[in-house]
Amino acid sequence: MTDQLDRFVAAAKMGRMTRRDFVGRTTAMGLSMGLASALYTKAAHAQAKKGGLIKVGMAGGESTNSLDPALAASEVPFVVNMTWGEMLVEVGPTGEIQMRIAEEVSSNAEATEWKFKIRSGVEFHDGKTVTADDVVATLKRHTDEKAQSGALGIVQGISEMSAEGDMVTLKLTAGNADLPFLMADYHLVIQPGGGVDNPAAGIGAGPYKVVVNEPGVRHGFEKFANYFDDSIGHADQTEIYVINDNTARVAALQSGQVHMMNRVDPKIAELLKNAPGVQVKHVAGRGHYVFIMHVDKPPFDNNDLRMALKLAINRQEMVDKILGGLGSIGNDFPINAAYPLFDDTIPQREYDAAAAAEAYKKSGHDGSPIILRTAPGAFPGAVEAAQLFQQTAAAAGIPLEIKREPDDGYWSNVWNVEPFCASYWGGRPVQDQMYSTAYLSTADWNDTKFKNAKFDELLLAARAELDQAKRKATYSEMAHIIRDEGGLILPMFNDFVDAVRDEVGGWEADPNGELMNGRGHVRCWLA
Amino acid sequence: MAAATSAAGWHKGGSVHPILLLVVQRVALGLLLLLAVSAVIFLGVEALPGDTAQAILGQSATPQALENLRAQMGLDQPPLTRYFSWLGGLMTGDMGLSLTNGQDIAQGIGQRLGNTLFLAFWAAVISVPLAILLGLVAARYQGRWPDKLISGVTLSTISLPEFVVGYLVLYFLAVKWQIFPSVAMVFPGMGIFERLNAVILPVIVLVLVVLAHMMRMTRAAILNVMQSAYIETAELKGLGPMQVIWRHAFPNAIAPVVNVVMLNLAYLVVGVVVVEVVFVYPGMGQYLVDHVAKRDLPVVQAAGLIFAAVYIGLNILADVISILANPRLRHPK
């Protein structure tokens, strides 16, 4: 057995084995998933070169950005947080929890009380040691409405937080087996004293210290010498350039001014693959493009009509034409194989004009055009996608009328207001969070106005269930309910498409977020 | 003696010299205009639905919270009071704080404005002399191949939209041949040569974009003057054609040329957001666009007023130069 393990480790060192393969093979040999993953990291990083300056060109930054992690809402602040900040735990590329500031996580049988043991000797950039009190103060700050935290919904479920020695105890209002996944949220960067005095100080326990902060222009960092984990953070310095223009970003990568970039336009990904010196990296993520119907407003309160529309969309055509093939087809529920506990036996819904026509007839709709609202900013290609939908629906005898809305104000005037429109979701690390955010009856962002008592009950039951097999079965049942009764038409999941230069070593696919979940520049090195 | 004549020149018969009077008039008018613009900007922002407090609180706004914040920011005062306190702040360099990231607006704008002026300065230093020189040459060889070549090339560069010129330059000079950097990022602490190297591509694009307008105007103005009798006299004196143009035609054609030059300079300062985006240059344009998108009204107001001031200032300068260039005004009877 050790021979075989050695061979796998050697293969990982040579870069011949992906993390997924390695973990799959070694867990089959009896290794625990966390250990296997850690072993892979060690092996894959054995050949890492230290030093140098890694530059990242990114879309998604504005001159209005702040270093306050609670306020991060776009891509650049997310990656900036991941550079100087450190969370309690993080979600690894294969979907397992990896320990960061916490060293051990445990819960009681009902998953209502969680204990995080804080790693000893972790230092903040200002020289102070990270304590359990800092962790509690950080979480408390995010519960304060005034902090305007993007993680408010996550920390609201915690009724009591306390610190004792190196142990943080969190008591929840209701059991939640996914709590560690929620603590990996990128807003929940642990700050000294919780960051209460100066939330935007940019002082954390992450691998790099903030040196330059020019929002919307560039962010510069240098290696934090006392970082607790020497298996990552290979470069001495790293810089993030905000390059929102697609062409300019690709030009910067091609001319070698940056080493990696996010958001390759699917239209040019194919061309960029053939360009010398650069590689396109894409990974199936959890983000998806959708058309949403309000199930409480006519004519969408009729499930036959909803089913007719779901059957009248050609998913493969959308993936090919709108995503340029860089994505996968959806199945009218917001979960795919990138989530843990995904049930891949749920039958795939296909385009079927005859069945759609039949359901449409059964619905008794009066034949008046159904208005679908869309805008270029709803998702990239949203107007074209609506037009494709219009054509395939027309083939089934369903009249769709496209109403093009301006980008400005789309999210306040159209989305969540009008009964049928185009939209997108970024996905969440676990199923529970995705469903609780947008499909629970009481959810703030229930953008299909879906209210189903049975569904809510299943969601709460699954949340506190620690038996993974039972949980998976419950999630499958919930997926069926959304797929067959919900107001969601989900034609496609989009890939994260990044690109790197050839000299970047150590890249691996990470479905949690773009640029290796915001740490591409921290986990990679320059060969 | 010299002092006596100049004094006599300035105070002819006890009255103010007409040039000085004209200049003072123009400057006063400009200031008045700027004041009017500030009022328009303020009114425009007032007319927008919602106010700054609502913009800050967003969807979480409760009536009580709104009231508190309004009182804290002085938004419960009547508009006239607020207008004058805003104006007073501007006079003393206090533009307030940005809503979105709490940074000092004057500081943020100051750095961006510096970058914009740096880029505009180098684009102007190259394009203005070049345009005038090309205009003179084109006028000298009117209708012949140098004229046609110059006009053809500059007219095609002005006819292409800026971003196309930008992408072409980017593709050839940065990606294909890799001569210059594609990202024109400048930051404090950069050496002057590093800075110049960084901005080469945007400067090239801006020069190409503004060249034709100034060149054509120079050419047209000179050709206009060339019809005059005194040009014929100069030619009959036996002066060479370039000398006639330079010594006799150009000084009389300055006024329209200066006006066009100033218009283009103003464009270089206030209108280059597309070029900034293509080359990732941290100038005023991108800064303004970001804050408009986030409804950061104090920043938008301040930036709007600065743009207006640049425009008005350059136009006053053009007026003054035209006046000074006019011998009839310079030497009144």
B302, pLDDT greater than 50? yes
Q: Do B187 and A214 touch (CB under 8 A)?
A: yes
Using a CB-CB distance cutoff of 8 angstroms, which residues of chain A are in contact with residue B294? Answer: 62, 64
> Following DSSP, what letter does each residue of A37-55 receive, concatenated?
HHHHHHHHTTTPPP-SEEE
- In DSSP terms, A239 is beta-bridged to A55, A220
Say yes or no: A28 and A156 in one domain: no
pLDDT of A38 > 60? The answer is: yes
**CB-CB neighbors (< 8 A) of B174 in chain A:** 251, 255
Mean of per-residue pLDDT scores for chain A: 90
Flag whether pLDDT at A254 surpasses 70. yes
Residue A510, judged by CB atoms within 10 A of its CB (0-12, 13-18, 19+), counts as buried
Count structural domains, chain A. Answer: 4
Provide the 3-class DSSP secondary structure of residue A123: strand
φ, ψ dihedrals at A111, nearest 5°: 60, 30
Chain A residues with CB inside 8 Å of B298's CB? none
Which chain A residues touch B if contact means CB-CB below 8 Å? 57, 62-66, 145, 148, 200, 212, 214-218, 241-245, 247-248, 251-252, 254-258
CB within 8 Å: B277 and A248: yes
**What is the DSSP annotation of B294-321?**
TT-HHHHHHHHHHHHHHHHHHHHHHHHH
Q: What CA–CA distances, in Å, run from B199 to A54, A250, A259, B100?
A: 22, 18, 21, 29
In chain B the first and final C-alpha atoms are separated, in Å, by 21
Q: Tell me whether residue A311 is in a domain.
A: yes
Report pLDDT for B3.
42
Q: Rounded to whole angstroms, how far apart are CA atoms A371 and A401?
A: 5
Give domain status of residue A71, yes or no: no
Q: Are the beta carbons of A248 and B280 separated by less than 8 Å?
A: yes
Cβ contact B183–A62 (<8 Å): no
Q: What whole-number distance in Å separates Cα of residue A378 and Cα of residue A407?
A: 7
A380 with A304, same domain: the answer is yes
Contact B102 A256 (CB under 8 A): no
Residues A262 and A320 in one domain: no
pTM: 0.82
Residues A520 and A456 in one domain: no
Cβ-contact A114, A105 below 8 angstroms: yes
Give the mutation candidate from A71, A212, A218, A245 for the B interface (greatest B CB count, under 10 A).
Answer: A245
Round to whole Å and give the CA distance between A515 and A520: 5
Residue A62 has pLDDT above 60, yes or no: yes
- Quote the CA–CA distance of A56 and A47 in Å, as a whole number: 22
Give how far B100 is from chain A: nearest CA, Å.
6
Q: How far is CA B244 from the centre of its chain?
A: 32
Residue A64 domain-assigned (yes or no): no
Residue A347 has pLDDT above 50, yes or no: yes
HEC secondary structure over B66-125:
HHHHHHHHCCCCCHHHHHHHHHHHHHCCCCCECCCCCCEHHHHHHHHHHHHHHHHHHHHH
Give the integer Cα–Cα distance in Å for A240 and B201. Answer: 21
Contact B60 A145 (CB under 8 A): yes
Phi and psi torsions of A218, nearest 5°: -160, 155
Beta bridge partners of A55: A239
Backbone angles phi, psi at A411, to 5 degrees: -75, -15
pLDDT at B333: 62
- Determine contact: B230 vs chain A, CB below 8 A: no
Q: Judge whether A151 lies within some domain.
A: yes
Q: Are residues A228 and A195 in the same domain?
A: no
> Cα separation of A94 and B134, whole Å?
64
Confidence of residue A26 (pLDDT cuts 50, 70, 90): confident
Task: Supply the ipTM of this predicted assembly.
Answer: 0.75
How far apart, in whole angstroms, are the C-alpha atoms of residue A434 and residue A479?
12
Residue ranges of alpha helices (H) inside A148-265 are: 152-155, 179-183, 246-254
* B84 and A CB contact within 8 Å: no
User: What letter does residue A369 receive in the DSSP assignment?
Assistant: P
Q: Answer left, alpha or beta for residue A517, where phi above 0 means left and psi between -120 and 50 means alpha.
A: left
Query: Are the Cβ atoms of B286 and A216 closer than 8 angstroms?
Result: yes
Give the DSSP letter of residue A129.
B
Give the mean pLDDT of B309-325. Answer: 88
**Can you give the CATH number for the domain in which A121 is found?**
3.90.76.10
Among B187, B280, B287, the residue with its CB nearest the CB of A63 is B287
**Residues of chain A found within 8 Å of residue B290, distances taken between Cβ atoms:** 62-64, 216
Instruction: Find the closest chain A residue to B164 by CA distance.
Output: A247
Of B60, B174, B296, the CB nearest to A64: B296
| A200-238 pLDDT per residue, tens | 999 999 999 999 998 888 999 999 999 999 889 999 999
d(CA A174, CA A154): 13
Q: What is the CA radius of gyration of chain A?
A: 23
Under 8 Å between Cβ of A133 and A163: yes
In which residue are the tokens 């409480």 written? A296
**CATH number, residue A501:** 3.40.190.10
Q: Determine the Cα–Cα distance for residues A344 and A331; give it in Å rounded to an integer.
A: 11
pLDDT at B99: 73
Predicted confidence band at B2 (pLDDT cuts at 50, 70, 90)?
very low
Cβ–Cβ below 8 Å for A252 and B185? no
Q: How far apart are CA A50 and CA A525, in angstroms?
A: 7
Do residue B175 and residue A255 have CB atoms under 8 angstroms apart? yes
Q: What is the pLDDT of residue A23?
A: 77
* Alpha helices (H) in A324-381, listed in sequence order: 353-363
pLDDT computed for residue A394 by the predictor = 94
What is the token pair recorded at A138? 């950080």
Would you state the pLDDT for residue B74? Answer: 73
User: C-alpha distances in angstroms, B158 versus A106, A147, A377, B199?
Assistant: 67, 50, 31, 20
Same domain, A246 and A103: no
Cβ atoms of A180 and A158 within 8 Å: the answer is no
Q: Minimal CA–CA distance to A151: which of A211, A92, A94, A72?
A: A72
Residue A522 domain-assigned?
A: yes
Q: Which residue of B has its CA nearest to A250?
A: B175
Is A125 domain-assigned?
yes
**Residue B274 confidence (pLDDT) above 90:** no
Say what the pLDDT of residue A431 is. Answer: 92
pLDDT of residue B332: 67
Residues A276 and A314 in one domain: no
Q: What DSSP state is assigned to residue B139?
A: H
A241 with B294: Cβ contact below 8 A: no
- B187 contacts A218? CB cut-off 8 A: yes
Residue A222 CA to chain centroid, in angstroms?
27
Average pLDDT over residues A257-284: 90
Buried-state track A136-162, b at ≥16 Cβ within 10 A, e below 16 = bbbbebbbeeebebbbbbbbebbeebe
Range of the domain at A215: 208-283+496-526
Tokens of A169: 């105890």
Rounded CA-CA distance A133/A161 in Å is: 10
Q: B179 forms bridges with which residues in the sheet?
A: none
pLDDT, average across residues A176-184: 92
Asked if A248's CB is within 8 angstroms of B183's CB, the reply is: yes
High-pLDDT (> 90) share of chain B, %: 30
Q: Which two structure tokens, joined as six digits, stand for B328?
A: 């009839």
Chain B interface mutation, best of A55, A56, A58, A64, highest count of B Cβ atoms under 10 Å: A64
Pairwise CB contact (< 8 Å): A251 & B286: no
Q: Is residue A281 predicted with pLDDT exceeding 50?
A: yes
| Residue B255: per-residue pLDDT | 87
Residue among B321, B251, B259 nearest B26 (CA): B321
Burial category of A483 from C-beta neighbours within 10 Å (exposed 0-12, middle 13-18, buried 19 and up): buried
Q: Which two tokens stand for residue B270?
A: 């206030």
Task: Give the integer Cα–Cα distance in Å for A231 and A42.
Answer: 7
- Determine the Cα–Cα distance for residues B50 and B70; give it in Å rounded to an integer: 12
Task: Identify whether residues A31 and A128 lie together within a single domain.
Answer: no
Considering only the beta carbons, identify the residue of A64, A248, A251 that sits closest to B290.
A64
Which positions in chain B touch A244 (Cβ < 8 Å)? Answer: 277
Give the 3-state secondary structure of residue A512: coil
Given a cut of 60, is residue B8 above it in pLDDT? no
In terms of CA atoms, which chain B residue is nearest residue A213? B187
**3-state class of A113 per DSSP?**
strand
CA B181 to chain centre: 26
Please say whether the beta carbons of A306 and A295 come within 8 A: yes
* Beta bridge partners of residue A58, listed in sequence order: A242
At which of A186, A205, A224 does a domain end?
A: A205
A126: three-class secondary structure by DSSP:
coil
A422 and A444 fall within a common domain: yes
User: What fold, for B110-296?
Assistant: MetI-like fold (1.10.3720)
Q: Which of B96, B100, B27, B65 has its CA nearest to residue B323? A: B27
What would the pLDDT profile of B12-51 be if each residue is shown by its tens digit? 445 677 778 888 888 899 999 999 999 999 888 888 766 6
Domains of chain B, by residue range, sit at 110-296
How many pairs of residues across A and B have Cβ atoms under 8 Å apart?
76
- pLDDT score at B208: 92
Do A109 and A180 share a domain, yes or no? yes
**Three-state secondary structure call for residue A79:** helix
**Are A172 and A25 members of one domain?**
no
Question: How far is Cα B253 from Cα B322, in angstroms, rounded to an integer?
Answer: 10
- Cβ within 8 Å of residue A110, ≥6 positions away: A175, A464
CA distances, A118 to each of A77, A89, B160 (Å): 26, 10, 61
Contacts of B60 in chain A (CB under 8 A): 145, 148
Is A299 inside any structural domain? yes
Q: Flag whether residue B48 sits within 8 Å of chain A, measured between CB atoms.
A: no
Whose CA is closest to A136, among A108, A164, A104, A176?
A: A164
Q: Chain B interface, mutation test: which of A156, A217, A240, A259, most B Cβ atoms within 10 Å? A: A217
pLDDT(B80) > 90: no
- What number is the average pLDDT over the span A347-375? 94
Pick from A143, A178, A205: which residue ends a domain?
A: A205
Give the DSSP H or E segment for A98: strand A97-99
Determine, yes or no, domain membership for A309.
yes
The C-alpha atoms of residue A254 and residue A256 are separated, in whole angstroms, by 5
Chain A nearest C-alpha distance from B307 (Å)? 18
Determine the residue type at B327.
P
Q: How far is the CA of A197 from the CAs of A15, A202, A492, B99, in angstroms?
A: 45, 12, 44, 19
Decide if B187 touches A, using CB distance below 8 A: yes
For residue B325, what pLDDT band results from cuts at 50, 70 and 90? confident
> Across the interface, which of B100, B170, B277 has its CB nearest the CB of A251?
B170
